[in-house]
Amino acid sequence: MKHYSLGRTVAGCAIGVGMALCMPFLLPLSVVIVVPALLLLALFAAFGPVSAAVSAVLCVASAGSLFGAVGIYAGLFVMVLPAAVGCVLLWRKAGYALRMKGALIAQAVGLAAFLGITTLTVGMSLADAFTQFVYGQISAMPAGFADYYLAMMGAIQLPETGIDLLHGVLSAQERAELMEQALATQNNVLKLGLPGMLASSCLYTGILCGHVPSRMLARRGAGLEHWGVHKWHLGRDATIFAILCFVTSLYFLVFSRSSAAAPAYIVFDTIANIAFTMQGMGAVDRMCLKSGQSRTKRAWILVGLFALSQLTQFGISVLALVGIASAVWGSQGLLAQHRQRRRERRNDDNNHDEGEF
């Protein structure tokens, strides 16, 4: 790794201060993508390890001051742990595939550790803890703000004449009853959708943490192995795992009648969809590269197709279908690998027979 000047290090620390100040927005956003983990790795690549370490400490301290012990756990396990693993692999100049696997595994382990420790220490699930946090925040506000919240949840309609923020429009008993119903509805929605959102966040964050810093360092001439999107492909084990996830999601969708069937379906479907979407992006980029498309045009095509694939909330998107076809029938797909192994085994048998007396 190259030497980083004092000015660059100070600039990176200043960005870390900005990250810490934005933690009230960045930490809740982690259910979509863990932006702080990605930013810490970007700071490591652009401004050096000192600025990344200082920024990590500031982010954990900020998360702890805002959300208490849960914030500290989130900072340590969801943000710092994956970033630290990525920094070590970048520092050791590990191969691209190893860094990508390490980023995904670190993100998954960190998320699992955060959920486990939070459940043990708080005594409730993340959905229940978030619902309780929202209730505490709303209860501390004037009555009018609580009525606004109920209106956003569709529990009441605000009068056309406006609302008194101090006293609201409901009586205390009506507000308490409607608040209980609204929070119960919100809790059920979280229990249904939060597992899938966390799985999606884990995978997308891991992919970005493995790819973006690698690209930054490769463009700076760090002598680091980097793959473009056209080189992305699922290995044999990853393809089989993604197929099993898709089949499992169908089982929960069609056959299971348990209360956990819907969240389980969303989680397994999300994992399979994202895995094959990444494979599909690699396949499309390879086709664009063979047709002579420029890098800019290829990037816009991939962004457009990825955006369209996100319109498919559940099930398999078109880009994921391309990924399935590429992962199974492509030149490096399961069938091609199977034929290659059979061919090698046949050659080994022939060589063995020729060597016998």
The pLDDT of residue 173 is: 84
pLDDT at 131 over 60: yes
- Which range scores top for mean pLDDT: 3-12, 14-23, 220-229? 14-23
Per DSSP, 31 falls in state G
Report the SS3 class of residue 336. helix
Most confidently modeled range among 101-105, 249-253, 306-310: 101-105
Q: What pLDDT is stored for residue 27 in this prediction? A: 85
CB neighbour class for 241 (10 Å; exposed up to 12, middle 13-18, buried from 19): middle
pLDDT digits (tens, 9 = 90+) for 43-96: 999 998 999 999 999 999 999 998 888 889 999 999 999 999 999 999 999 999
Q: What is the mean pLDDT of the chain?
A: 86
Own/partner pairs, 295-299, CB within 8 angstroms, 24+ separation: 298/229, 298/230
Closest CA to 62 of 44, 77, 53, 74: 74
| Structure-derived torsion over alpha carbons of residues 249, 285, 304, 327, reported in degrees to the nearest 10 | -10
Q: Which of 82, 149, 68 is nearest to 111 (CA)?
A: 82
Lowest mean pLDDT among 45-54, 125-134, 149-158, 260-269: 149-158
Element (H, E) at 33: none
Contact between residue 174 and residue 245 where contact means Cβ atoms under 8 Å apart: no
- Predicted confidence at residue 316, as pLDDT, reads 66
Most confidently modeled of 170-179, 198-207, 215-224? 198-207
* Among candidate residues 269, 128, 239, the one with its CA nearest the CA of residue 187: 128
Per residue in 192-216, pLDDT (tens digit) is: 888 889 999 999 999 999 999 999 9
Per-residue pLDDT, averaged over 319-335, amounts to 85
Task: Report the pLDDT value the prediction gives residue 242, as an integer from 0 to 100.
Answer: 92
Average of per-residue pLDDT across 171-177: 82
- Collapsing DSSP to helix, strand or coil, 213 comes out as helix
CB of 45 within 8 A of CB of 56?
no
Give Rg (Cα) of the chain.
25
CA distance 149 to 141: 11
Query: What was the pLDDT predicted at 88?
Result: 94
> Mind listing the pLDDT tens digit for each residue in 94-127?
999 999 999 999 999 999 999 999 888 888 888 8
Enter the pTM of the model: 0.84
Q: What is the largest CA-CA distance in the chain?
A: 102
For residue 40, pLDDT over 90 is answered with yes
For residue 40, which of 82, 103, 11 has the smallest C-alpha distance?
82
| Residue 337 pLDDT > 50 | yes
d(CA 128, CA 186): 10
pLDDT value at residue 240: 92
Using alpha carbons, list the distances in angstroms from residue 264 to 194, 204, 285: 11, 19, 32
Q: State percent of the chain over pLDDT 90.
A: 40
**pLDDT bracket for residue 164 (50, 70, 90):** low
Exposure string over 254-274, b if 16+ CB within 10 A, otherwise e: eeeeeeeebbbbbbbbbbbbb
Gap between the Cα atoms of 212 and 226, Å rounded? 10
Comparison of pLDDT for 176 and 58, the residue scoring more: 58
Looking at the predicted structure, is the pLDDT value of residue 1 above 70? no
Residue 325, both tokens: 């076809």
Alpha-carbon span 36 to 143, nearest angstrom? 35
Rounded distance between C-alpha atoms, residue 41 and residue 211, angstroms? 10
pLDDT score of 174: 82
Is 90 exceeded by the pLDDT of residue 13? yes
The two tokens of residue 81 are 């742990």
298 versus 162: which is more confidently predicted? 298
